[in-house]
Amino acid sequence: MSPLPVHLKISGPSERGWGPVSSSHCPCSGLPEWVWTGALAPSCLLPSAPHRPALQEPGHCPLPSLQVTSMDLWPGAWTVLLLLFLLLLFLLPTLWFCSPSAKYFFKMAFYNGWILFLAVLAIPVCAVRGRNVENMKILRLMLLHIKYLYGIRVEVRGAHHFPPSQPYVVVSNHQSSLDLLGMMEVLPGRCVPIAKRELLWAGSAGLACWLAGVIFIDRKRTGDAISVMSEVAQTLLTQDVRVWVFPEGTRNHNGSMLPFKRGAFHLAVQAQVPIVPIVMSSYQDFYCKKERRFTSGRCQVRVLPPVPTEGLTPDDVPALADRVRHSMLTIFREISTDGRGGGDYLKKPGVGEARL
């Protein structure tokens, strides 16, 4: 096998001449051993040959100035990196303008990455107070601008229905991670969401949520979830806190509402506090995960009158949940088809109604 090629910068006798050098300054001594085992071995380290000048004294080196640099060793690596950069510079704009699916993935990647970055900025500020529901104001302030980056107009109606000075439970429909935009637009003071425990491990976002007082529950462990809800009921009354719950339990991309889980309603009945329903219009005109479509658009957030729970018992919870869901679904259809909310997606035959 022939030795690997190495580019060497050598200044010969005409430049510096032959002369004695110490072993510590000999440029040959700094090269790796494999260089000396092949054709590139200098005469100072190989037996003298007829075509090589023999050393007259120890310490003489025929290569008085020899330098090896990374640029000389690997000139092709920088070329490859430059070509890759130029390729990306050309390819990304092309995909952005020519592929709606690529634009969808770019927008979602930036959305999630930007939230993680903002969480990194928020953590030191929130850490001053420690875990405190007042830190939610900081997160809200830092997230409000995102809707402008995506050209999404959020219209809020019925904000006067929030009870002015008492705890309550907010229930809202859940369509996608974009719900965060509507939530931050209308979030009342001292209100924190109840989220699945997996969010706690979502890097900087999980830590920022924990510092803001977000309540995490393990949905897989029913006993733990019930225990947490009991603690939340006490916190509502003793610390004047409001909680935001998505009773569907998971995101629903079908343009309707899933059946409600009853945890939020048990919580409200146990604490004897009102329920405030909030409805966000359909995103289907500007966002659809299945179709990989994400454009600009308009969303309406409607706050409904509070539903009292005073005097109700756990036996009344199923009827209470059905009644609240029915009122929310009626408003959802209204604001998603009036041209001022999510557009006319629900006017299409067979959409929404068939999935109830």
Which of 162-171, 221-230, 329-338 shows the highest mean pLDDT? 162-171
Helices within 99-252 (DSSP H only): 100-127, 136-143, 146-149, 179-186, 203-211, 222-239
- Look at residue 277 and tell me whether its pLDDT is greater than 80: yes
CB distance 66 to 9 below 8 Å: yes
Residues in the chain: 356
Per the CB < 8 A criterion, the answer to whether 319 and 173 are in contact is no
pLDDT number for residue 52: 47
Predicted local confidence at residue 218, as pLDDT: 80
Sorting pLDDT into bands at 50, 70 and 90, what band is 350? very low
Mean pLDDT check: name the lowest of 87-96, 206-215, 285-294, 329-338. Answer: 87-96
Q: Quote the pLDDT of residue 158.
A: 95
* Residue that wins the pLDDT comparison between 18 and 94: 94
Mean pLDDT, the chain, whole residue set: 79
pLDDT exceeds cutoff 60 at 351: no
User: What is the model's pLDDT at position 271?
Assistant: 93
* For residues 195-209, average pLDDT: 91
The one-letter amino acid at 329: L
Q: What percent of the chain has pLDDT over 70?
A: 71
User: Between residues 64 and 294, which one has the greater pLDDT?
Assistant: 294
Percent of the chain with pLDDT over 90: 49
Task: Determine the average pLDDT of the residues in 227-243.
Answer: 85
The per-residue pLDDT for range 300-318, each reduced to its tens digit, is: 999 999 999 999 999 999 9
Stated as kind and residue range, the H or E segment containing 217 is strand 215-217
The architecture CATH gives domain 96-338: 3-Layer(aba) Sandwich (3.40)
What average pLDDT does range 44-59 have in this prediction?
48
152: CB partners within 8 A, 6+ apart: 178, 181, 286, 296, 297, 298, 299
pLDDT exceeds cutoff 70 at 42:
no
Q: What is the pLDDT of residue 61?
A: 52
pLDDT in the model for residue 75: 60
Alpha-carbon gap, residue 239 to 167, rounded angstroms: 9
Sign of the torsion formed by the C-alpha atoms of 247, 245, 215 and 199 = positive
Lowest-pLDDT range of 38-42, 148-152, 157-161, 335-339:
38-42
Distance CA 31, CA 60 (A): 17
CA distance 65 to 54: 18
Confidence of residue 222 (pLDDT cuts 50, 70, 90): low
pLDDT band at 33 (very low <50, low <70, confident <90, very high): very low
Q: What is the mean pLDDT of residues 184-209?
A: 92
Residue 266 pLDDT greater than 80, yes or no:
yes
Indicate whether 240 pLDDT > 90: no
Model confidence at 208: pLDDT above 80: yes
pLDDT at 343 > cutoff 60? no
Render pLDDT for 115-156 as a digit per residue (tens, 0 to 9): 999 999 999 999 999 999 999 999 999 999 999 999 999 999
pLDDT of residue 38: 45
